[in-house]
Amino acid sequence: MHSSFRLLAIAACSSLVFACAKKEDGAKPASSGELTTDAQKFGYAIGVDLGNSLKPVKDHVDVAALEQGLNDVTNGVTPKLDDAAREEIKNTVSKQMQEEQIKKREEQATKNKEDGAKFLAENGKKEGVKTTASGLQYEVITEGSGTPPKATDKVTVHYKGTLLNGEEFDSSYSRGQPVTFPLANVIPGWTEGVQLMKPGAKYKFYIPSDLAYGERGAGAKIGPNETLVFEVELVEIGKDEAPAKE
């Protein structure tokens, strides 16, 4: 089931719970906003839950009509829309919201791509910033010593990842321990970049979206076509531990 439709379903379920509770209890509405009885508190709690569930779709919901629907069910009035009509409008609005989400994501992907390209073009001119053939940019904060890892190696690193606006989305420093993983199992920008490092080194990487998570993004924090910035410290090569996700 699509997320927007699930929200509508949650709202509907919450409405029914509220209606049934009110009908069975027979409690009168709270006056002056006071919540004195259990029925009033329970009804208010359901209302808050319902309001929270409707936040993502609030622009598509007429609150007065919502209240009318609640009252009709509670008072035993025949609904103005039958089962088929209610199902049809929920599907229609769900489709509209899905189309809006797709359009918004496409617009965000285009903006992120343009912002990333502009940033990298300027960043590449800075002293100390180097750009590889793939478009990966990096600068050396601290140089290490020894032999760099190969793509087939397992590495242990400390890192911090941020968006171009400086917002941090992940950090092993915040968790207080480094992570270990096969170097071939992470995003291309990491696989390429960490192979430039020697143990003990700390680099800063500026990773174009096509070397990061691309159009799909990652989770709620990394949007489509985001250019990412990582500070990476290569702690060790070949440490024999269970791999952790970057």
Q: pLDDT per residue over 67-97, tens digit each?
A: 899 899 989 999 999 999 999 999 999 999 9
Q: What is the pLDDT of residue 58?
A: 86
Q: Which residue has the higher pLDDT, 20 or 67?
A: 67
What residue ranges do the domains of the chain occupy? 3-80, 119-237
pLDDT at 30: 53
**Helix/strand/coil for 78:** coil
Does residue 182 carry a pLDDT above 70?
A: yes
* CATH fold of 119-237: Chitinase A; domain 3 (3.10.50)
Establish whether 187 is a catalytic residue. yes
Taking a C-beta distance cutoff of 8 angstroms, is the pair 192, 208 a contact?
Answer: no
Q: How far is CA 38 from the centre of its chain?
A: 37
Task: Find the catalytic residue in 5, 42, 46, 187.
Answer: 187
Give mean pLDDT, residues 40-46. 91
Out of 31-35, 142-146, 199-203, which region has the weakest mean confidence (pLDDT)? 31-35
**When comparing pLDDT for 31 and 137, which is higher?**
137
Has residue 143 got a pLDDT over 60? yes
Averaged over 169-188, what is the pLDDT?
95
pLDDT(57) > 70: yes
The active-site residue out of 159, 181, 203, 205 is 159
Per annotation, catalytic residue among 170, 203, 205, 222: 170
Structure tokens at 46: 């359901």
213 in catalytic set? yes
Task: Give the model's pLDDT for residue 28.
Answer: 52
Nearest-angstrom CA–CA distance, 26 and 24: 6
- 232 in helix, strand or coil? strand
User: What's the CA gap between 229 and 210, in Å, rounded?
Assistant: 13
- Of 7-16, 45-54, 157-166, the range with the highest mean pLDDT is 157-166
Tally of CB atoms within 10 A around 5: 17
- Mean pLDDT computed over 154-176: 96
Of 18, 181, 203, 230, which is the active-site residue? 230
> Which has the minimum average pLDDT: 31-35, 92-96, 134-138, 222-226?
31-35
Q: Has residue 19 got a pLDDT over 60?
A: no
Give the mean pLDDT of the chain.
87
- Residues 183 and 159: beta-carbon distance below 8 Å: no
Indicate if 18 belongs to the active site. no
Question: Please, what is the end-to-end C-alpha distance for the chain in angstroms?
Answer: 30
Amino acid at 180: T
Q: Is the pLDDT of residue 117 over 80?
A: yes
Question: What is the predicted pLDDT for the residue at 132?
Answer: 98
Q: What is the pLDDT of residues 145-155, one digit of tens each?
A: 999 999 999 99
Active site residue 207: no
SS3 80: coil
- The mean per-residue pLDDT over the stretch 48-62 comes to 89
Annotated active-site residue 44? The verdict is: no
pTM for the model? 0.72
Q: Can 159 be counted among the known catalytic residues?
A: yes
| Extended strands (E) in the chain | 130-131, 137-142, 154-162, 168-171, 179-182, 202-207, 228-237
